């Protein structure tokens, strides 16, 4: 028998993952407190980790200024979809319970440095941030709110693409959201699109690329089809940085890349420029 022993109930072993975050890019282990204090940006390599929609809203908007719109909208199951892993309806319920969200986007209005804006922020935790019928409806309604109240509109995208479980109902949201955003031009209201890691599929092929200004965080994956699919189709090897924010900026698909801690002030700077040409509602 050992001379000294500790009760596991009284002295629980501290798990490594409780105090460390491992960077997905460089595999460095960073103290969790340091990671979150640095806005989930790796202090070693500068990799921008993913944020939840609530973290993103806290980062972009003035404290206490956000009011959510259309919070009751949730996914629909028009096809009664079932696959080898179960029923879509059951997955919806499980995802809502796990994330505390009712859809893959949170919409509302708030202020950026005292300037009123309408916002829609996607969350990759909810079905990979996929574009479903509820997602499109919320984005459209937020665009309509911006139109009715003369507000700039900002969408932060984080999505793997259209939601296959809803079939054509999902694909229809691409045109639907684009039509709502295009209507803002009637009042010359600016639309800023922020593309984060990842922005892919039907989202990158629709409203994510429709911005008066398209901006991104460093290193974000931005794509339509996957690298392997493209390489197999064209029978060529693609560049290493293909489908990164830097590659898209170089080829004219993005207007600028902005560090996360500078994002709020840069958006405010852009909106100030637009505001000089017209009056937004306060």
Quick one: pLDDT at residue 192?
Answer: 98
* Rounded distance between C-alpha atoms, residue 17 and residue 29, angstroms: 10
Quick one: pLDDT at residue 280?
Answer: 61
Quick one: pLDDT at residue 17?
Answer: 57
Quick one: pLDDT at residue 16?
Answer: 52
* Rounded distance between C-alpha atoms, residue 243 and residue 227, angstroms: 8
Per-residue pLDDT of 10-44, as tens digits, reads: 555 555 558 999 999 999 999 999 999 999 999 99
Helices (H) and strands (E) in the chain, counts: 10, 11
List CB contacts of 207: < 8 A, sequence separation 6 or more.
139, 155, 157, 174, 177, 178, 181, 193
Which residues of the chain are modeled with pLDDT < 70? 1-17, 277-282
User: What domains sit in the chain, N to C, each tagged with a CATH number?
Assistant: 18-47 (no CATH), 50-275 (3.90.226.10)
Q: Six-digit token pair at 69?
A: 């719109």
Quick one: pLDDT at residue 282?
Answer: 58
How big is the CA angle at 105 (ends 104 and 107), to the nearest 5 degrees?
160
**CA–CA distance from 115 to each of 105, 146, 274 (Å)?**
22, 13, 12
């Amino acid at each position: 028998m050992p001379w000294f022993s500790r009760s596991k109930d009284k002295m629980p072993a501290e798990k490594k993952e409780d105090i460390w975050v491992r960077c997905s890019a460089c595999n460095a282990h960073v103290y969790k407190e340091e990671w979150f204090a640095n806005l989930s940006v790796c202090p070693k390599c500068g990799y921008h980790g993913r944020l939840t929609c609530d973290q993103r809203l806290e980062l972009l908007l003035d404290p206490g200024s956000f009011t959510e719109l259309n919070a009751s909208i949730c996914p629909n199951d028009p096809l009664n979809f079932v696959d080898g892993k179960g029923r879509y309806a059951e997955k919806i319920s499980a995802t809502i319970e796990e994330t505390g969200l009712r859809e893959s986007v949170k919409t509302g209005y708030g202020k950026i440095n005292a300037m009123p804006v309408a916002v829609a922020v996607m969350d990759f935790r909810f079905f990979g941030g996929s574009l479903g019928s509820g997602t499109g409806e919320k984005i459209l309604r937020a665009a309509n709110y911006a139109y009715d109240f003369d507000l700039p509109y900002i969408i932060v995208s984080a999505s793997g693409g259209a939601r296959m479980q809803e079939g054509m109902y999902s694909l229809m949201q691409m045109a639907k959201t684009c039509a709502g955003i295009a209507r803002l031009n009637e009042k010359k209201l600016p639309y800023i699109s922020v593309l984060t890691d990842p922005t892919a599929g039907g989202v990158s092929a629709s409203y994510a690329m429709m911005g008066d200004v398209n901006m991104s965080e460093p290193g974000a994956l931005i794509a339509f089809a996957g690298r392997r699919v493209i390489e197999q189709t064209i029978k060529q090897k693609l560049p290493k940085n293909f489908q990164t924010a830097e590659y898209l900026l170089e080829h004219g698909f993005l207007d600028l890349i902005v560090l996360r801690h500078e994002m709020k002030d840069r958006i405010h700077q852009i909106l100030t420029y637009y505001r000089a040409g017209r009056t937004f509602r306060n």
